[in-house]
Structure 1
Amino acid sequence: MSLFTGTASYYRQFRPGIPEDIAAILDQAAPPRSGDPRRLLDVGTGTGLVAEALLSRFDDIIAIDNDADMLAAAETALRPKLPEGSRLSLVESAAEDFVPPAGWKANLVTICRAFHWLDQAAVLARLEDQVAPDGVVAIFSDSSFWTATSPWKEAVRDIIKTFLGEERRAGSGTFQHHNRPYTDVMEESTFDQVEETRIPVHRTWTTENILGYLYSTSFAAPHLFGDRLPEFETAVRERLTDFSKDDTFAEENEFLIRFGRRSRR
């Protein structure tokens, strides 16, 4: 069973996308267009949120994921938006196993909200031969609801724990934390020149958005609740009324982007 079984439709509809200013920063970090196609490799693409944000900025995009339902949702959403003359390939593959077409090298690799699921050192080593000499690897994410940073998020997380236990779930198992900062891992790879950028994000949620987001996660996927799902949903709705009279919930978040480049030797 996939970590995200049954979540693809919620993921596509309720996961926050990539803001325009983040897309612009990613675009500027990669080498500019030259005579060759500008190539993007999006690892762990899910429903294609990163690829969608960068669709007009790259000529040749390969987006990979090991979840067929996620890729199907990405195909439906992205294919109609693909600029004329651009290429988009959606590939079902684990990052640790992916092999690009012969001679294909990425100018930018993006790994968004996915690096914690990967064999990090192995993926970075594999990318050595998949990234152009002046290419960039961007590893980034914002904070999930599990790492609660506001009273209403803490309340929602407490309800999840009441139903599913104290440990953070990850599909049928529990989440295994990586204890090392991503920067340290990257500095031990070929992409050892690491630059960090933080971009603040303000969002406003509703109860429907919050439940949809939760159902898109590995720690609160609908199937985890079994026949108690309606009971869980009622508990969340009732608890959230303590924090808002008009069903709006403010969130202050940020994207932390780590850009990795090869040392100039």
Structure 2
Amino acid sequence: MTYPYGPLPDLYPEQEALFASAAATYARYRPGLPDAAVRLLADVLRGRPSPVLLDLGTGTGQVPLALLSAGAALTHIEAVDVSRQMLHQASQALHPFLGDCTLTLAHAAADAYEPLATLPGEPDSGPDLITCCRSFHWMNGRAVLEMADRVATPGAAVAIMGDGSLWTHEAGWTRALREMIQQYLGSERRAGARSSYAEPRRSYEEDLADSPFSDVTEHLFPVTRTWMPEEVLGYLRTTSFAAEKLFAERHRAFEDEALALLRAHAVDGALVEEATFRVLLARRPGGAR
């Protein structure tokens, strides 16, 4: 079952525009979650009577899809994103796996999200797990964690997770690729058409330490990914630092040059990324509400 969804207040139009055009490409080229990280999240839900997931910045629904595919017995999923197109992709991906699990798609910025009213006959309970995968840096962290405290059940956990990007990854081929992007777009890392990327003023750990979810454990999962050069180009189209529209009429020239560079760095046709997927799992101290 899927509840209807509509716009909620205080959306960020520039964020919606940033991700809207990349939704289908995102679903195809963005890496998923490591199996070990999925097991960690599933363990958080184990033993909960009617597990509910709230996934903020859901994108194409990677987190709920991974949990459902791993057999997590979710009874309800709230998937929140600023992009309608991303939510459409998430809906298509999740529907075949829902079974008796219900799904709410909420078109909202994470810090402006408020739970929708439950339908008659549906359980009225908050989330047992709140996840932000590769998305927390786009959010007002303090406001998101205040919202999480309002809606989460006693004993709930917040998981902030990610593994950087090919911009931040340090390898010979990624450094060369980053330098090529900078030759086309300037030395600063772009964050869409109108701005440059700014590092968060506070670390995720600092945000969590000042929040009700101050009991934090860090979990690190090594990941080895193998990319074909064409897959890297697909991935770049989904990013805020190398999206097609940033290059305008020079995008074709950039992709031709980037493809030649990537093929020159490839070994047996492939490029290797050694990454670390990090999960900050946070709870209220002592399970307090």
CA contact (8 A) 1:43 1:110 kept: yes
Question: Which whole-Å CA distance do the structure 2 matches of 1:162 and 1:68 have between them?
Answer: 33
**SS state at 2:265 partner:** coil
Which stretches in structure 1 are left out of the alignment for 5+ residues? none
Which stretch shifts more, 177-186 or 134-143?
177-186
Call closer, same or farther: CA 1:245–1:145 in 2, change over 3 Å: closer
- In the alignment, what sits opposite 2:222? 200
Which of these residues, 106, 111, 128, is aligned with residue 96 of structure 1? 111
The count of residues paired between Structure 1 and Structure 2 equals 262
Structure 2's unaligned 5+ residue stretches are 1-13, 118-123
Equivalent of 1:81 in 84, 90, 97:
97
Runs of at least 4 residues off by over 6 Å: none
Counterpart secondary structure, 1:40: strand
**Structure 2: how far apart are the matches of 1:250 and 1:122?**
37
Q: Corresponding residue for 1:10?
A: 25
Cα distance per residue 1:137-169 (max 9 Å; x no partner): 000001201113100011111111111111111
Superposition TM-score, scaled by structure 1 size: 0.95
Secondary structure of the structure 2 residue equivalent to 1:148: coil
Matched, 1:64 2:80: yes
Judge conservation of contact 1:4–1:171 (CA < 8 Å) in 2: no
CA RMSD in angstroms, aligned pairs only: 1.4
8 Å Cα contact 2:34-2:221 kept in structure 1: no
Question: By how many angstroms is 1:245 displaced?
Answer: 4.7
Give the Cα separation in 1 of the matches to 2:184 and 2:25: 20
Structure with the larger helix share: 2
1:186-228 CA deviation, whole Å, 9 max, x = no partner? 0100001111110110110001110111111111111111111
Structure 1 residue 182: Cα displacement: 0.7
> Equivalent residues in 2 for 1:2-151 (5 A)?
2-30=17-45, 32-34=47-49, 37-55=50-68, 56-57=71-72, 58-82=74-98, 84-102=99-117, 103-151=124-172
SS of residue matched to 2:153: strand
Contact 1:196 1:256 in 2 (8 A): yes
Maintained 8 Å contact 2:191/2:240: yes
Residues 1:237 and 1:99: Cα distance change in structure 2 (over 3 Å): same
Deviation at 1:89, TM superposition (A): 1.5
Q: Which amino acid aligns with 1:246?
A: D
Structure 1, 111-120 or 90-99: larger mean CA deviation: 90-99
TM-score (ref. length: structure 2): 0.87
